[in-house]
Amino acid sequence: MNNTILVTGGAGFIGTNFVLQWIANTEARVVNLDLLTYAGNRRNLQSVENDPRHIFVHGNICDDALIASLLKQHQPRAILNFAAESHVDRSISGPAAFIQTNIFGAFTLLEQARVYWDSLEPEAKTAFRFLHVSTDEVYGTLQPEDPAFQETTPYAPNSPYAASKASSDMLVRAWHHTYGLPVLTTNCSNNYGPWQFPEKLIPLTILNALEGKPLPVYGDGLNVRDWLFVEDHCAAISRVLEEGRPGETYNVGGNSERRNIDVVTTICDILDELQPDSAIGTRRKLITYVKDRPGHDRRYAIDAEKISKELGWHPAQQFESGIHRTVEWFLAHRNWVDEVRSGAYHEWIEQNYAGRFAQ
């Protein structure tokens, strides 16, 4: 059987980490399709650029002819869909891209996967999998006393981003129940770690704190997220791909609920220890509360008991160890940071935060 997988969005944050981990741990080939939008970066994949097992293709998951061609040419045993617009603030200011990529893109992949799967010989058809990577944000928000999200929690998305991912999840479900396509879905909590584009909370805080810039914290800073180290997430996806039951959903969490303000202060303290700067002083004084995001969900929490019991996966990193590794990675990769913080990035930061500091 062909031991090739097709990964979409493999030059983005989570996709990059998955591709690098997969190449390091297996002998399989990876066909890596990415549109290279603002958050996709081929430099992330420099270490496997000349590896014959990694085949990079610049293209769009909405291009049905391209998808059909790649499936016919490479005959993968699995498709893993990481490709997505994923930043809530961007979805609020410009939802159209999220509808296009997250919904229409998922539809295009599913349809081409169905046609391809129908054409396979019985053994390859039985082995084939379509794995869709999603988010805990599809479940909506939790109150402090509520139990964590389970796979059976009703969907209640509250942002354009979450709604677009919920829509794609429902498409995946429908293609399984209607056509029999052997799908798998993972819903993860907030990821952090190497290669994360610096508009998200943790890398933004690290970089601003290094430079003595204000550290924006939405609202009262008490919003809670479950933080998952990206390498743990990628290991979970590999486990689901190989051992998950078709048609099932698996929640993937880090067992590390933290308030946003505590995440920020932890980063400040680590940087004060690892890279003290007398001109800046204690970095906690840089914390600046800003106007909250519209419709900001109060709390997310993942119950990962299903993947733990059924597939034996557990996160290797707790937040304290993972955040240290993340800060150290950003300190060691300042050239990468400087390259990705392009003019477009600075324009976005200005657009998103300029009006908030006036609170």
Measured CA distances, 87 to 52, 90, 135, 167, 204 (Å) = 33, 5, 12, 16, 13
Alpha-carbon torsion (187, 191, 193, 198), positive or negative: positive
Starting from the edge strand earliest in sequence, which strands make up the sheet with 257-259, in order? 190-192, 224-229, 257-259
The catalytically annotated residue of 85, 89, 136, 169 is 136
**Burial (0-12, 13-18, 19+ Cβ within 10 Å), 323:** buried
**Cα 107–102–330 angle (5° rounding)?**
140
Position of tokens 């004084």? 285
Determine contact, residues 265/218, Cβ cutoff 8 Å.
no
The catalytically annotated residue of 137, 199, 231, 303 is 137
Which residues fall within 8 angstroms of residue 310, CB to CB, at 6 or more apart? 243, 244, 245, 250
Measured CA distances, 212 to 195, 267, 274, 282, 305 (Å) = 22, 13, 15, 10, 41
Determine contact, residues 168/106, Cβ cutoff 8 Å.
yes
To the nearest 10°, the Cα dihedral for 174, 118, 6, 109? -40
Q: How far apart are CA 204 and CA 196, in angstroms?
A: 10
Determine contact, residues 136/225, Cβ cutoff 8 Å.
no
The yes-or-no answer on residue 136 being catalytic is yes
The catalytically annotated residue of 161, 192, 218, 250 is 161
* Short-list 5, 39, 4, 18, CA closest to 340: 39
The yes-or-no answer on residue 297 being catalytic is no
**Burial (0-12, 13-18, 19+ Cβ within 10 Å), 134:** buried
CA atoms within 13 A on the CB side of 318: 1
The yes-or-no answer on residue 250 being catalytic is no
CA 225 to chain centre: 14
Q: Which residues are part of the catalytic machinery?
A: 136-137, 161
